[in-house]
């Protein structure tokens, strides 16, 4: 999904809340599942950097070393180095249902500053 997937998440959506489940637990579960989906996408190919590495001179029998320009991947954007791309989402609750109540719980994700939820309807 990446950042384009994050842009598609902006808006209002409805989630069924069964009886016996707290609204906060449901909101946190939805947020966790959305984060898993966003972070499960394939990362882009690593950037290539030019590095000068020492190597033997080709075609020479002498043991001379020379600098050779080589493309190597830059690992600064690797998932294991930077961690997950998304760590939290702003998921708001439109109303709060009691623990024993069941029904549709309105959730909304963060939208751009200056835009109200009424403009999303």
- Catalytic residue positions? 98
Is the distance from CB of 17 to CB of 104 less than 8 angstroms?
yes
CA 12 to chain centre: 20
Any residues with CB less than 8 A from the CB of 99 and at least 6 apart, and which?
19, 20, 21, 22
């Amino acid at each position: 999904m990446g950042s384009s997937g994050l842009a598609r998440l902006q808006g209002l959506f409805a989630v069924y809340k069964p009886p016996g489940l707290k609204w906060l637990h449901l909101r946190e579960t939805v947020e966790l599942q959305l984060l898993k989906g966003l972070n499960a996408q394939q990362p882009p190919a690593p950037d290539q950097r030019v590095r000068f590495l020492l190597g033997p001179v080709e075609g020479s029998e002498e043991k001379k070393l020379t600098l050779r320009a080589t493309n190597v991947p830059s690992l600064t954007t690797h998932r294991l180095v930077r961690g997950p791309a998304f760590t939290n989402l702003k998921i708001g609750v439109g109303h709060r249902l009691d623990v024993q109540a069941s029904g549709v719980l309105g959730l909304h994700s963060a939208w751009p500053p200056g835009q109200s939820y009424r403009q999303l309807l």
